[in-house]
Amino acid sequence: MNLLPQQYDAKAHLREWKVGALFMEPGTGKTRVACELVNEVQDIDLVVWIGPLRTIRTTDGIPSVMDEVAKWGGFRCEAVYYGVESIGGSDRIYLELRQRVLAAKKPFVVVDESLKIKNADAKRTKRLLDIGELCEYKLILNGTPLSRNLLDLWSQMEFLSPKILNMSMAKFKNTFCRYTTITKRIGGWKTYSREFITGYENVDYLYSLIRHYVYECDLHLNISQNYSDWSYSITDEEREQYEWLKEQFLSDELLEFRNNNIFLEMTQKMQHCYSCSPDKFDTVDLILERVPEEETIIFCKYIDSQEACRKRYPKAAVLSYQKESFGLNLQQYHNTIYFDKIWDLALRIQSGRRTFRTGQEYDCKYYDLTGNVKLEGLIDRNIAKKVSMTEYFKGKTKEELYECL
């Protein structure tokens, strides 16, 4: 099969360099481009593919990245696959990988979902930077455009080559980021400081430093994405528990210690109390009368809703937002049911890209389940406005919280 135009352009852009970054939106075919670029290098004797565990060890017949690589002809030499979480969490696995790379004459390392190496102080990032120093040929893949958070770029470019930016993390931040520092007093004499990025500057200069090594691409398909909202009603018992939780969390005692963690716990528990409401399943039954169950993905937020959906809908692919919103190619499905709502806009967008991607031949349909409680509408409105939970709750009064929930 011939390369698609964006894949051909990506290959042409990076083939002259020993290191490179594919910042291509989900579904644009990054894996195939990576295979093409690796196989063009002569005498490579080891390919190290590092990515999220969920893309390497998959279940229930979901294709893994190894299946995707094999689909495009595989690599011409030995290839090993490692979960980035394992490298950060296991000394044994990290040292094993390091020895493999040292033993190879000409290794090529590919890091998929390269935002995993954004935190310069994390053990995971330090270990990946160390592995990168041992390899001449390196490629990073990511579905997030460059402009989302420029500070994330430093570690990624440092992994490819320190010569690209030729500056420390501190200098990078001072050159390209505008930020403010807020200091809070804790318990009388202790203080806590935190930095917040308020904007970016000198962006043209940054792009001039990295443009040779980065290829960006948006997704354009001749199929559509169709969204519909399906309502369901929670039971009287669930509503009673929902209201009780609201009263408990918005008590004067808890509000004295009000912080983002309280709001996260509050909304999680309130939503969880009706996550397996009977009418919710009846609504899914109605949807599956219209579309084939075996061509449908069901995204769940909670373990018990996942288990209940797997039991009731064994032919569907029941997935977790946190574990399976990124990286997987699920173009064999084209219907998606959002069983539980989430606050995280990035996860919501990424989950939709499991089906809406290069190779999809059918229009993609998305069914959003909405319960008859205020929290459901609040999540929808904040997703539409691209506002996070912590941003929304910041500065709200007790009366305002009662009203919105």
pLDDT tens digits along 18-54: 999 998 887 788 899 999 999 999 999 999 999 988 8
**Under a CB-based contact definition with an 8 Å cutoff, are residues 10 and 22 in contact?**
yes
Let me know how many helices (H) and strands (E) the chain has, helices first: 21, 13
> Domain check: are 211 and 257 in the same one?
no
Mean pLDDT across the stretch 286-298? 93
pLDDT (tens digit per residue) in 370-403: 999 999 998 888 888 777 777 777 667 777 777 8
Q: Answer whether 41's CB lies under 8 Å from 136's CB.
A: no
Per-residue pLDDT averaged across 200-209, rounded? 89
Asked if residues 163 and 19 have their Cβ atoms less than 8 Å apart, the reply is no
Give the model's pLDDT for residue 186.
63
* CATH code, domain with 74: 3.40.50.10810
> Are both 250 and 213 inside the same structural domain?
no
Task: Note down the domain range covering 132.
Answer: 5-176+207-217
What span, in angstroms and rounded, lies between the C-alpha atoms of 207 and 191?
37
Nearest CA among 304, 276, 288 for reference residue 230:
288
170 domain residue, yes or no: yes
Q: Which residue has the tokens 């999809």?
A: 360
Distance, CA of 319 to CA of 298 (rounded, Å) = 6
Mean pLDDT in residue range 74-96: 94
Residue 194, domain member (yes or no): no
Q: Would 329 be classed as within a structural domain?
A: yes
Which sign does the torsion angle of CA 366, 367, 370, 371 carry? negative
* Pair 276, 260 in one domain: yes
| pLDDT above 60 for 254 | no
Neighbours of 128 (CB within 10 A): 27
Q: What is the pLDDT of residues 169-181, one digit of tens each?
A: 989 989 998 877 7
Regarding whether 249 and 172 lie in a shared domain, the answer is no
DSSP assignment, residue 4?
P
**265 assigned to some structural domain:** yes
Q: Is 323 contained in some domain?
A: yes
Q: 3-class SS at 271? A: helix
DSSP string, 277-299: -HHHHHHHHHHHTTS-GGGEEEE
**Residue with more model confidence, 311 or 122:** 311
Rounded Cα–Cα distance for residues 306 and 8 (Å): 40
Residue 198 inside a domain? The answer is: no
CB 378 within 8 A of CB 405: yes
Give the count of beta carbons closer than 10 Å to the beta carbon of residue 44.
21
Q: Which helix (H) or strand (E) holds 378?
A: helix 374-385
pLDDT at 276: 95
- Average pLDDT, integer, range 126-134: 94
% of residues, the chain, pLDDT over 90: 49
Q: Average pLDDT in the 225-248 region?
A: 91
Q: Per the domain annotation, does 196 fall within a domain?
A: no
Q: What does the pLDDT read at residue 185?
A: 66
**Residue 234 located in a structural domain:** yes
Judge if 241 and 134 occupy the same domain.
Answer: no
Q: Which two tokens stand for residue 310?
A: 């797997």
The burial class, CB within 10 Å (0-12 / 13-18 / 19+), for 349 is: middle
Q: What are the tens digits of pLDDT across the range 180-194? A: 777 766 666 677 677
Choose among 127, 17, 122: nearest CA to 82.
127
DSSP class of residue 147 equals: G
Quote the tokens at residue 102.
Answer: 């040292």
Residue 120 Cα distances to 86, 251, 296, angstroms = 18, 40, 39
CB 375 within 8 A of CB 405: yes
Q: What's the token pair of residue 343?
A: 């606050």
CB 133 within 8 A of CB 159: no
pTM: 0.66
Q: What distance in Å separates the CA atoms of residue 142 and residue 33, rounded to the nearest whole number?
A: 12
Please indicate, yes or no, whether residues 164 and 277 belong to a single structural domain of this protein. no
Mean pLDDT, rounded, for 75-103 = 94
Confidence check: pLDDT of 259 > 90: no
3-state class (DSSP) for residue 110: strand
Name the more confident of 393 and 256: 393
Residues linked to residue 336 through DSSP beta bridges, in sequence order: 297, 366
- Put residue 316 in one of left, alpha, beta given phi > 0 → left and psi -120 to 50 → alpha: beta
- Decide which of 41 and 348 is more confident: 41
Q: Are residues 39 and 83 both part of a single domain?
A: yes
Same domain, 110 and 151: yes
Number of domains in the chain: 2
- Cα–Cα distance, 258 to 192 (Å, whole number): 17
- Residue 331 or residue 306, greater confidence: 306
What does the alpha-carbon distance between residue 164 and residue 397 come to, in Å, rounded to a whole number? 48
Asked if the model's pLDDT at residue 302 lies above 90, the reply is yes
User: Which amino acid, one-letter code, is at 221?
Assistant: L
